[in-house]
Structure 1
C-alpha cells in the first residue's frame, strides 16, 4: 500500500513539474523576450545612453536576452514532449551550460557594477565620482564578459549529461558565485541608501537660478537608483533558493535517495530555475513600473512611432488624393480641349463654305 501511495505521489509531482516546464516557462519566455527587446530599444535612446548606469542596464538586458534564448527552449521542449535534449546529448548540454552560466554571471555582475556606479556618482569625494563614467562602464563590461567566459570554460570538463556522481568542486562553484552575487547586491543596496542622503542634501543647497535643471538631474538619478534597487531585490530573491538548493545537492550527492525524494528534488529544481529566469526576464516591467525616466522615454518612443506611422499613412493618403485629383483634372482638361477643338473645327468648316 505504501508503494502505491508513493507511486501516486511521484506521478502527481512529476505531472506538476511537467506543467511548470510547459506553461510557466513558456510564459516567462514570451514576456521575457518582449521585455528584453523593449529594454534594448528604450535604453539605447540618446537621452538615456549617456548615463553610465544605463550603459550597465543596457548590457545586462542584452545578456538577459541571451539567457532566455539559451536556457528556456530546451525546458519548453521538455515540457511539450517529456524529454530534455540536454539530458541525452553531452555536447549540447555542455554548450548550453557554458553560455547559460557565463551569460548569467555577466548579467549579475553588471548589476553589481551598476550599484557601484550609483554609489560613486552620489559620493562626496571627487576622485570617487570619477569612477562613474561611460568609458569606465565600457571597459568594465568587456572585462566582466571575458572573465565570465574564462571562468565557466571548466563546464566543458566538469559537467556531463545526466551526471549523477561528479566531483563536489565542480558543483560548488555555481553555489559560491550565486551567494557572492547575493551578498554583493545586498551590500551595495545598503551603500546606496547611505549615499543617497548626502547626495540629496548637496542638491538642496543649489541656488535658485539653476534649480530647474538640477531638479531634473536629481529626479533622473533618483529614478535610476530606484530601478536598480528593485532589480537587485528581485535578482536576490530569485537567486537565493537555487543557491541553497545547489548547496543541498552538493552535500547530499552521495546519499542514497528514494524515488519520491528524487521526484521532490526534481520539482524543486524546476521551480528554482523558473524563479531565476523570472529575475532575468522581468527587468523591463520593473523599469516601467518604478522608473519615471524609463517610463517617460518609453512613452515618447511610442508616441514617436505612432506619429511616424500616422505621417506615413497621411502621406500615402495625401499622395492618393493628389493622384486622383490629377487624373480627374486631366480628364476634365482633355474633355474641355476636345470640345474646344470640335467647336473650332466646325466654325472653320462653315467659314470655308462662305
Structure 2
C-alpha cells in the first residue's frame, strides 16, 4: 500500500513538473508565433488588394480576435508557470480576463463560419446569392457575431471569481452549476455548432463548384467571338485562381481549428459528465490533460498567418509583398 502511494506521489510530482514546464515554455512559444503571425495578418489583410473582398474581411476580423485571445489568455498562463498570476488574487481581473478570452475565442470560430458561408454564396450559380456576398453585409454580420458572443458569454462575469480554494484553479467558476454552464457553452456555442455549420456549408460550396463547372462546360460548347472569348477566358482564369485560393485558405483553417479544439471540447464533456476525482493522482492526470488541450486551442488561434502563407497563393503573397514594400519605403523616408 505504501509502495503504491509512493509511486502515485512520484507520478503526481512528475506530471506537475511537466505541466509547469509546458505552461512556461510551450505557452511562450504559442504566444510569440501567435502574436507575430496575427499582427502580420492584420496589416497584410488590410492591404488595398485584399480589403474589399468579403471573405478576407472575415479573415481580418478573426486575426484581431485571435490576437486578443492569445495575448489575454497566454500572458497569464506563462506567469502561472512561475506561480505568478494576477487572476488568482484579483477578482475583477479574473472575471474580465475570462470573459475576453472565451468570447474572443468564440468569435474566431464564428468569423470562419461567416467566411465559409461567404464562399458558399460567392460560388452559387444563383445571382441573388452571389449578390449577398458584399463587404457591407460582411461588416454587418461581423457586428452581429460580436454582439451575440458578448451576450452569450456575459454570464462569465458573474460565474468566475478569484481566490477560490476547492477548485482546479484559483480563478475558476464559483459553483458546479456555473462551471457546467461555462463548459456546455464552450462545447456547443464555440466548438461543436460552428464546426458543424462550417462542415455543412463546405459541402454546399463543393456542390456549387461542381454545378458551376458543368455550366462552364455547356457554355464553352457555344461558338463565341474568339477575341472576346480569349479576354474573358484570361479574366475568368485569374478570378478562378483567386477563388480557389480563398476556398483552400478557408477549408485548411477550418480543418486545423477542428483538429486542435475538439480535444478540449471532449475533455470538458468528460469532466462534466464522467470524470470524478477518486484520487489525487486522477485529479492530477485530469488537470494535466486539461492544461495540454487548452494550449492546443491557443495554438489553433496562432496558426492563421502560416496557413494563409502556405495556401493563399499569389493572392496572399502579393499582399504580403506590398506590405513589406510599404515598410521599406517608410524606413527609407525616415532615413
Same fold per TM (> 0.5)?
yes
Question: 1:209: which partner in 2?
Answer: 231
State the alpha-carbon separation in 2 of the partners of residues 297 and 62 from structure 1: 18
Aligned with residue 278 of structure 1, among 289, 299, 305: 299
Question: 1:331: which partner in 2?
Answer: none
State the alpha-carbon separation in 2 of the partners of residues 305 and 169 from structure 1: 47
Question: What CA deviation, in whole Å up to 9, does each residue of 1:289-347 have, x standing for no partner?
Answer: 111111222123324433554x548xx6xxxxxxxxxxxxxxxxxxxxxxxxxxxxxxx
Do the aligned partners of residues 304 and 6 (structure 1) sit closer, same or farther apart at CA in structure 2, a change above 3 Å counting? Answer: same
Deviation at 1:202, TM superposition (A): 4.4
Which is richer in helix? 1
> After alignment, is 159-168 or 149-158 more displaced?
159-168
Question: 2:171: which partner in 1?
Answer: none
Question: 1:176: which partner in 2?
Answer: 188
Question: What CA deviation, in whole Å up to 9, does each residue of 1:177-196 have, x standing for no partner?
Answer: 22112222222222222222
State the alpha-carbon separation in 2 of the partners of residues 169 and 308 from structure 1: 50
Question: 1:339: which partner in 2?
Answer: none
Asked whether 1:35 is paired with 2:37, we answer: yes
Matched-pair contact (CA < 8 Å) for 2:106–2:149? yes
Question: 1:349: which partner in 2?
Answer: none
Asked whether 1:189 is paired with 2:210, we answer: no
State the alpha-carbon separation in 1 of the partners of residues 318 and 94 from structure 2: 42
Deviation at 1:248, TM superposition (A): 1.0
Matched-pair contact (CA < 8 Å) for 1:115–1:188? yes
Matched-pair contact (CA < 8 Å) for 1:182–1:240? no
State the alpha-carbon separation in 2 of the partners of residues 288 and 200 from structure 1: 27
Matched-pair contact (CA < 8 Å) for 2:120–2:202? no
Asked whether 1:146 is paired with 2:161, we answer: no
The 5 Å alignment of 1:145-294 reads 145-161=146-162, 162=164, 164=167, 165-167=175-177, 168-177=180-189, 178-202=191-215, 205=219, 207-252=229-274, 255-292=276-313, 293-294=315-316
Q: Unpaired runs of 5+ in structure 2?
A: 168-174, 221-228
State the alpha-carbon separation in 2 of the partners of residues 197 and 77 from structure 1: 51
Query: TM-score scaled to structure 2, two decimals?
Result: 0.87
Deviation at 1:127, TM superposition (A): 1.5
Do the aligned partners of residues 299 and 261 (structure 1) sit closer, same or farther apart at CA in structure 2, a change above 3 Å counting? Answer: same
Do the aligned partners of residues 265 and 87 (structure 1) sit closer, same or farther apart at CA in structure 2, a change above 3 Å counting? Answer: farther
Question: 2:23: which partner in 1?
Answer: 21
Matched-pair contact (CA < 8 Å) for 2:277–2:283? no
Question: 1:97: which partner in 2?
Answer: 98
CA-atom RMSD in angstroms: 1.9
Question: 2:74: which partner in 1?
Answer: 72
Question: 1:106: which partner in 2?
Answer: 107
Question: 2:122: which partner in 1?
Answer: 121
Q: Give the length in aligned residue pairs.
A: 311
Q: Unpaired runs of 5+ in structure 1?
A: 317-354
State the alpha-carbon separation in 1 of the partners of residues 122 and 83 from structure 2: 50
Deviation at 1:267, TM superposition (A): 1.0
Aligned with residue 62 of structure 1, among 64, 70, 93: 64
Question: What CA deviation, in whole Å up to 9, does each residue of 1:153-200 have, x standing for no partner?
Answer: 111222334464411334322222221122222222222222222334
State the alpha-carbon separation in 1 of the partners of residues 182 and 60 from structure 2: 31
Q: Computing the radius of gyration over CA atoms, which structure comes out larger, 1 or 2?
A: 1
Deviation at 1:256, TM superposition (A): 3.9
Matched-pair contact (CA < 8 Å) for 2:43–2:323? no
Q: Helix, strand or coil: the match of 2:50?
A: helix
Q: Helix, strand or coil: the match of 1:24?
A: helix
